[in-house]
Amino acid sequence: MGEVLVITSGKGGVGKTTTTANLGTGLAQLGKKVVVIDADIGLRNLDVVLGLENRIVYDLVDVIEGGCRLRQALIKDKRMPELYLLPAAQTRDKNAINPEQMEALHEDLKEMFDYILVDCPAGIEQGFRNAIAGADKAIVVTTPEISAVRDADRIIGLLEAAELRNPKLIVNRLKIDMVKRGDMMNIEDMLDILAIDLLGVIPDDQEIVISTNKGEPVVTKINSYSGQAYHNIARRVCGEDVPLMDLELQNGFVHRIRKVFGLAK
Amino acid sequence: MMTEEGRIELKGTGDGLVIKVHIQGEFDLVKKLIQQKIEENPDFYKKATLAELTCEYLMPEDHDELQQWLFDEYQMNPAKKSRNKKNSVPETSEVSPTSKPEPIKWSKEDKERIEDETRFVQGTVRSGQKIHSDGNIVVLGDVNPGAELVAGGNIVVMGSFRGIAHAGAQGNEDTFVAALVLQPTQLRIHQTITRSPDGEFEQSKTPEIARLREKAICIEPFFIKN
């Protein structure tokens, strides 16, 4: 029986889709059977981030409306044989489906996969309610900005109201040098406000932009710092006890890896 | 043994059983030979739908009798269309029967009306927008990724085409998709579907046209600069 994880944030642009793509790929790398669902109907992105846009024939709304069989809409990832994408419809909107239909879909998918990751749209309206319906666990993504943390706090409240207790936190795009100078919120400040467990921290990394544009999740590049961070998160989701990376090591770590690959002086 | 391979053909298809008799002679002999074939695998043949029964060298009444005999003996129900097959020489151009649903056939008047109908779109068709027409679609502008054009007829884009196009959506195979810059996410013509290759590839600088050639979508330039 699979587990449904919803990845949400409230605020837009904090990295929900990137996190879903990388966590899904990371779990598939660990040998799990994974499906990632794009619940952002009308503003789909997950297919682009995974580089699978040109394979879409049927989508989530087709499945729910009975326009195709579930297996017809599942797109096999081009790198990971155990990773599948259920894309969102682009020419429809969030009202095309309802929470009960999502729950029924999850029940079917649970039979087929170990992990079902749902990429939640930004906001707290219908799209959010659809995405969290039938979820077993929630992962809240935030960035070290006061606005993102405020929205994350609101989302945690809504999740709890929907009986999704103990969500886990991923802090994305942390700039360690700015934190050191005191120009950016640090992890402790955020945990203080949000009071939930930390699942992982993703450092701000140009590699993410490069890999997103190429449609290749950064977690496949294990020598990148952010890729390593996502890999660790995937292992933690699987129940492994992986210590947080020492963020101070960033320069040293990257430097060492570069040296191994002959890129550093 | 009288039987020779190929003189009587029994073949299972998506529509049912096809029986072809390529010999002339006694009707009873033909019956006996068919019987022999069927007894090799009775479970498979019994109660099968008889999609086609041809016996080019037999008399028309023998054909009907043979069909009746197959029904009495093996409960083979003749398919309706097999009736007009009697005594005919097998046509070589005939498309082999498949289990696929038949595309909608338009009457000539319908076809002409639809071919005359063209929807013109001015400006950029953006992600999430879907343009539908039973006839043709002409876009005077670009079509961006995530946008979808579905036409019963042809699609012409006077600009860059980067979205999804479906030409001949209602069953017309002789349709095309043409654009000044053809870089589709996905192309569908009739029931054939294709996608752009993964990774980097060289883009043509000339306008291109995509059409069906032997059930495959082919892209070729339709205008060569002098």
Sequence spans of domains, chain B: 8-85, 108-221
CA nearest neighbour of B217 among B200, B197, B183, B194: B194
Interface test with A, best of B126, B127, B143, B192 (most A CBs within 10 A): B127
pTM for this entry: 0.71
Q: Decide: B65 and B27 in contact? Cβ < 8 Å.
A: yes
- Measured distance between the N- and C-terminal CA atoms of chain A, rounded to whole angstroms: 50
Look over chain A and give the mean of its residue pLDDT values, rounded to a whole number: 91
Chain A residues touching residue B150 (CB < 8 angstroms): none
* Residue B144 CB partners (closer than 8 Å, separation 6+): B124, B125, B126, B127, B162, B163
Domains of chain A: 3-260 (3.40.50.300)
Look over chain B and give the mean of its residue pLDDT values, rounded to a whole number: 78
Cα–Cα distance, A34 to A110 (Å, whole number): 10
Contact B128 A54 (CB under 8 A): no
CA nearest neighbour of A215 among B213, B196, B91: B196
More confident residue, A88 or A263: A88
Cα–Cα distance, B9 to A91 (Å, whole number): 51
Spell out the CATH class of B108-221: mainly beta
Chain B residues touching residue A54 (CB < 8 angstroms): 185-186, 195-196, 198
Question: What is the full DSSP assignment across chain B?
Answer: ----BTTEEEEEETTEEEEEE---S-HHHHHHHHHHHHHHSHHHHTT-EEEEEEETTS-HHHHHHHHHHHHHHH-PEEPGGGGGGTTPPPPTTPPPP-SSPPPPPPPHHHHHHHHH-EEEEESPBPTT-EEEESSEEEEES-B-TT-EEEESS-EEEEEEE-SEEEESTTS-SS-EEEEEEE--SEEEETTEEEEPPSS--PPPSS-EEEEEETTEEEEEES----
Contact B186 A56 (CB under 8 A): yes
A257 pLDDT band, cuts 50/70/90, is low
Contact A54 B196 (CB under 8 A): yes
Q: What is the pLDDT of residues B156-179, one digit of tens each?
A: 999 999 999 999 998 888 999 999
Q: What is the structure's pLDDT at B69?
A: 80
Residue A55 at interface with chain B, using a CB cutoff of 8 Å: yes
Q: What is the structure's pLDDT at A251?
A: 56
Contact A91 B145 (CB under 8 A): no
Taking each helix axis from N to C end, the angle separating A250-260 and A225-237, rounded to the nearest 10 degrees, works out to 110
Q: What is the structure's pLDDT at B203?
A: 79
More confident residue, A8 or B12: A8
Q: What is the pLDDT of residues A12-26, one digit of tens each?
A: 999 999 999 999 999
- What percent of chain B shows pLDDT beyond 90? 36
Q: What is the pLDDT of residues B98-113, one digit of tens each?
A: 455 555 566 677 667 6
Q: What is the pLDDT of residues A57-73, one digit of tens each?
A: 999 999 999 999 999 99
Nearest to A57 among B130, B193, B198 (CB): B193
ipTM of the complex: 0.77
Length of chain B: 226
Residue B185 at interface with chain A, using a CB cutoff of 8 Å: yes
A49 pLDDT band, cuts 50/70/90, is very high
Residue B128 at interface with chain A, using a CB cutoff of 8 Å: yes
Q: What is the structure's pLDDT at A263?
A: 59
Kindly report which listed range (A168-177, A247-256, B44-53, B91-100) carries the lowest average pLDDT score: B91-100
Q: What is the structure's pLDDT at B93?
A: 40
Indicate if the pLDDT at residue B88 is higher than 90: no
Kindly report which listed range (A29-43, A222-236, B29-43, B132-146) carries the lowest average pLDDT score: B29-43
Chain A residues touching residue B195 (CB < 8 angstroms): 54-55
Contact B196 A44 (CB under 8 A): no
Residue B113 at interface with chain A, using a CB cutoff of 8 Å: no
- What percent of chain A shows pLDDT beyond 90? 85
Indicate if the pLDDT at residue B84 is higher than 50: no
